[in-house]
Structure 1
Amino acid sequence: MSGLLRSRDPSIVDELWSDGFRLVGSEVGEMATSREQLVALFGKLFTRTVRYAFDFPIVEVDVDGNVAWLFAEGALLADDGEKSERLPYRLTAVFTFADERWRWRLFSGAEPAPSLEAP
């Protein structure tokens, strides 16, 4: 999925979408519960000058029957051609196994805020 995101490949919608899928991104307004909303969301992201990708050195997956839960922690890579940034990012996802493949059911992304605790 990260490669499709980086290359602005519209087939990312096909990778993510299945009936009942929900995407909740880290920015206000980044939500999609229909294929049309997902197409619109990625269309909007792909018009930005910045290209995005993920780097998740921590990936944990638990499977119970035909359901899998994923937690990933690492960085959202943002590159506008002049500068590159690594922004802290967490992904929680749920998958179900049907028709011989794992299908995305939930993508919930978060950019962790700095700690409010005193140093």
Structure 2
Amino acid sequence: MDEQAIYAKLDRASALMFAKDMAIVDELWSNGFRLVGSEVGEIAETRDELEGLVAYVFTAPFRLRWIWDSKPVTIENDIAWVFAQGRVEFVYDRHVHPAAYRLAAIFRRAGTDWTWRLYSGSEPMPQRAWPSQTT
């Protein structure tokens, strides 16, 4: 049952982002929450920063949605965490641009609900060839 509640949180966040609904701020925010996105500058530690970041993302000419291939949930007492892998889709009027995406999220039980504590998203890069060390 707790696992399903966490899945519902992931699904709701994705639906609100796709709808460009500012209710996403209320969905994610709790005192102490932190969002760390995949791009430079995508960090929000206060409600105002989260609201500003979301408003900025919503000005883009696309909608975002996440499709998860795996999203295992681990729960210990009142803490749960997810490491989800899949893709983010940038949905434009005439095409969809998919990109690999990873999410590490932490939740804390608050009564009968779960609150977001950390959202850390990333778009993994292709494996790079490491430069050789010169002496």
Which TM-score tier does this pair reach, normalised by the shorter chain?
A: over 0.9
Shift of 1:19: 0.3
> Identity across aligned pairs (percent)?
42
What is aligned with 1:53? 65
Alignment of 1:1-119 (within 5 A): 1-117=13-129
The code of the aligned residue for 2:109 comes to F
TM-score (norm 1): 0.95
SS at the partner of 2:72? strand
**Aligned structure 1 segments of 4 or more residues deviating by more than 3 angstroms:** none
Greater share of residues in strand: 1
Task: Give, in whole Å, the separation in 1 of the partners of 2:125 and 2:55.
Answer: 27
Shift of 1:59: 0.5
Give the deviation of 1:100 after TM superposition.
2.1
For normalisation by structure 2, the TM-score amounts to 0.84
Task: Tell me the number of residue pairs that the alignment of Structure 1 and Structure 2 aligns.
Answer: 118
Measured on the aligned residues, the alpha-carbon RMSD in Å equals 1.2
Q: Which secondary structure does the structure 2 equivalent of 1:28 belong to?
A: coil
**Secondary structure of 1:95's aligned partner:** strand
SS in 1 for 2:31: coil
Uncovered stretches (5+) of structure 1, i.e. residues with no partner: none
Amino acid at match of 2:116: W
The alignment partner of 1:43 has SS state of helix
